[in-house]
Amino acid sequence: MLKIEDRYGRTFRTLRVSLLQHCNLGCVYCVAGEAELKEANAVGDSLGVEQLLAIIRRLKEQLPLDTVRLTGGEPLLYPGLASLIRGIRAAGIDAVRLTTNGFLLERMAPALKEAGLEALNVSLDAVEEEVFARMSRRHSVERIIRGIDAAVAAGLRVKINTVMMKGMNDSQLLPLLDLAFARGLTIRFLEVMAMGHLHDHAGRYLVTQDELLGRIGEHHRITPEPRAESATARYWTTETGHRFGIIANESEPFCRDCDRLRLDSSGHIYGCLSSNQPIGLGLSETAAEWDEKLKLALAQKQELRFVGSDLSMLHIGG
């Protein structure tokens, strides 16, 4: 295996696979308006299970991959998801994880666990139905919560992800914290990202890490944990032993030791969300040709901080 590494010692250990480009929600940080909502909900072409597995196996041969995270769009809409999970495990990657909006999770959780899924993150941006509908353009917050409970009951490790947006759902910070803590789950609050239609004005919605810690600290005594290498989140524990994290891509960027490679639903790779220049991989190409393309992807990584792009998270995955 050729060592693919940049001057900061970064390589690719985590592969995030965007399985498809459509979703059954229309969250405001992914989708701008009604026209985009129709596009987001329209089923398009995606690589099949065997095509994806062929790419993942090749990448595993040429990189020190130890984790695959399946994203979307909404990955629970992907046909053959369980077969894909089993195939990734058979390729020698035990840490197979998934990020979902949870809408279909209640009925799918046991099959995902049986297929070999290790853990999942569930996006939940509000507890109150009115706020949830404002954020997702769909009613059904209780359905998402039932999906979380079903995943826990199935034996999956579950974290909750919340994109916190000023004036949109920042009233939900403490209710969401309470929901997670009542279930013994870790919740992570994400600073809004300058992606897609928010690229030039994400700042108007930004709730910073300091603001989040200040508000949580009014109700809990909190202690920071050391940041793990290549982690996107910093974590804190409360005096009662509960845990929460913050993914502070604006306040505290984590580019310097990022180890993530992204594969989209058409077979293109990206080394960084801040780059919207796709790099195509051909299965007929040689290992040397793939090495060169992986070096190009590694060169896309930012040196110090996330700058975003006009590429929607719907297309490149969360």
Indicate the pLDDT class of residue 305, thresholds 50, 70 and 90: confident
Nearest alpha carbon to residue 60 among 101, 89, 40, 99: 89
Per residue in 55-107, pLDDT (tens digit) is: 999 999 999 999 999 999 999 999 999 999 999 999 999 999 999 999 999 99
124, pLDDT greater than 60: yes
CB 260 within 8 A of CB 252: no
Place of tokens 């190009």: 296
CB 48 within 8 A of CB 276: no
Residue 200: how many other CB atoms lie within 10 Å:
9
200, pLDDT greater than 80: no
37, pLDDT greater than 70: no
Residue 314: how many other CB atoms lie within 10 Å:
25
| Confidence (pLDDT) at 274 | 84
Write down all domains in the chain, each with its CATH number in brackets.
14-316 (3.20.20.70)
Q: Which two tokens stand for residue 195?
A: 């992606």
Name which of 32-36, 84-88, 160-164, 244-248 the model is least confident about: 32-36
Per residue in 127-156, pLDDT (tens digit) is: 999 999 999 999 999 999 999 999 999 999
CB 307 within 8 A of CB 259: no
Q: Which helix (H) or strand (E) holds 135?
A: helix 129-136
Q: Which two tokens stand for residue 299?
A: 């060169």
Q: Could you please report the per-residue DSSP string of 207-237?
A: --HHHHHHHHHTTS-EEEPPPPTT-S-EEEE
| Confidence (pLDDT) at 97 | 98
Residues 6+ apart with CB under 8 A from 218: none
Three-state DSSP class for residue 143:
helix
pLDDT above 90 coverage of the chain, percent? 80
| Type of residue at 112 | L
Residues linked to residue 309 through DSSP beta bridges, in sequence order: 195
Q: Which two tokens stand for residue 43?
A: 């089923």
Please count the helices (runs of H) and the strands (runs of E) in the chain.
10, 12
Name which of 103-112, 157-166, 167-176, 251-260 the model is least confident about: 251-260
Indicate the pLDDT class of residue 318, thresholds 50, 70 and 90: low
252, pLDDT greater than 60: yes
CB 271 within 8 A of CB 309: no
